[in-house]
Structure 1
Amino acid sequence: MTSSSSIPPITEDDIAEYLANTPGFFERHAEVLASVTIASPHGARAVSLQERQAEMLREKIKGLELRIMDMVRHSNENATIAQKIHHWACTLARVADPLGLPQAVADGIRAQFDVPQAALRVWGVAPQHQGAAFAQDASEDARAFASSLTSPFCGPNLGFEPTAWLPQAGEVQSLALLPLREGAIDSTTPAFGLLVLGSPDPQRFDATMGTEFLARIAELASAALARLR
């Protein structure tokens, strides 16, 4: 015969499992449910289990409302960005003279996307464009660096050579470097140019920020500037 002292005591987990597997318990013992009180998270007072469940439900609803508000805000922001990209792309498409494209790219980025400074260099251009300012001052190291980028670089101003292309390079605290190449930005095709965006705000181009938007900017700029080759 087994001694009662050898029977393991009932644990809280045992009780929780029993209640979870016996949904009719509180229907048969409604007075137990009504008598249960627990501490409220909003003070020292005790509340009924039903009231605590209602509080938890309200908190969950509030959390869901905040998430929905964030989703709506992000949706509105994305729609605004998409509209700006569309307007910028249309402006580039209307540039008749290829020599005007580099300036149109830089001016459009500054105006449409509130980027304080923007500059670019293009190499391997057609002979008639080799004397233009945008075809100068890109060393072999800068060209190799551009080709090594398979996504936009964002981060602090660490003294990269292309930073000197910006009109007020000394004021730049953070920057984005966008390789220009035919095809997708993440391909291994050698770059034929580099687009530099600079800001005096150290957080404007943070290393942890998403770069999908900047990648689309690079691809559109590449498609337009390919006319110079």
Structure 2
Amino acid sequence: MTTPTPPTSPLIAPPIAPITEDDIAEFLIQTPGFFERHAEVLASVQLTSPHGGRAVSLQERQAELLREKIKGLELRTMDMVRHSSENAAIAHKVHQWALALLQTADAYDLPQAVVDGLCTLFDVPQVALRVWGVAEPYAQAPFAQGASADVQAFATSLTMPFCGPNLGFEATAWLPDAAQVASLALLPLRAGALENATPAFGLLVLGSPDAQRFQATMGTEFLTRIAELASAALLRLR
């Protein structure tokens, strides 16, 4: 014979779920005036300091966090000032280089002016360039020789400067000592903006023995400006 289950007495309350830390946190968020009414609780809160593991008051811990935040902001500000100074210096060099190109009277001398300016003002160890499709008076010049159809097609395919390790590109052989080049930048020369679809009429090669000088992750804004300025100047050869 089955014993029937006794009915639940309405006088017995259901079990209460324990209060969790999340419940407490939510209560404090929803009750912003709690610590104003119970200031003694706030004053008695003790936290562990990250410096030495000693117990500190909540106010001391907040002060430590604030000092750390201020220190981080100071470091970011210093980085911004440093980058700003570096960018200003590069912009000044670009300005000087552009002036030198504008002051080059004979178009035949422009390729060498481009190379010399990059070596001198920007401390690039090795620089070379080639242009094609030039006017007849410049067709036999050294700077108009040695660019194969593959190089010309490669230059046209670039819509921004290529930066990275020396992978044995054909154009690297134009540099005075290609064997010493660990990183390089390849800048297409074309009329108009660098990213447009106009076929390139030249290629500028910058080489360095420093493997970190031209990295694939580096910003290329100034290199793009250099390529566009060089292109504008060298259009006189066409």
TM-score range relative to shorter protein: over 0.9
What TM-score, normalized by structure 1, do the two folds share? 0.97
Which letter does structure 2 place at the counterpart of 1:63?
Answer: G
Counterpart CA distance in 2 for 1:52 and 1:216 is 49
Report the alpha carbon displacement of residue 4 of structure 1 after superposing the two structures with TM: 4.2
Matched, 1:182 2:191: yes
The superposition leaves residues 121-152 of structure 1 with CA deviations (integer Å, 9 ceiling, x where unpaired) of 00000001001000000000000000000110
Which of 174, 180, 199 aligns to 1:165? It is 174
Matched, 1:108 2:137: no
Corresponding residue number in structure 1 for 2:130: 121
Give 5+ residue unaligned stretches, structure 1.
none
Report the alpha carbon displacement of residue 11 of structure 1 after superposing the two structures with TM: 1.9
Q: How does 1:71-220 map to 2 (within 5 A)?
A: 71-220=80-229
Counterpart CA distance in 1 for 2:210 and 2:36 is 62
Which letter does structure 2 place at the counterpart of 1:3?
Answer: A
Counterpart CA distance in 1 for 2:207 and 2:46 is 60
Could you say what the CA RMSD is over the residues aligned between the two structures, in angstroms?
A: 1.0
SS across alignment from 1:202: coil
Counterpart CA distance in 2 for 1:3 and 1:179 is 82
> Highest Rg: 1 or 2?
2
Give 5+ residue unaligned stretches, structure 2.
1-9
Corresponding residue number in structure 1 for 2:72: 63
SS across alignment from 1:143: helix
What TM-score, normalized by structure 2, do the two folds share? 0.94
The superposition leaves residues 47-104 of structure 1 with CA deviations (integer Å, 9 ceiling, x where unpaired) of 0011001100110011111111111111111111111100100000000000000000
Change over 3 Å in CA distance of 1:57–1:4 after alignment to 2: farther
Which letter does structure 2 place at the counterpart of 1:126?
Answer: A
Counterpart CA distance in 2 for 1:57 and 1:201 is 41
Report the alpha carbon displacement of residue 106 of structure 1 after superposing the two structures with TM: 0.5
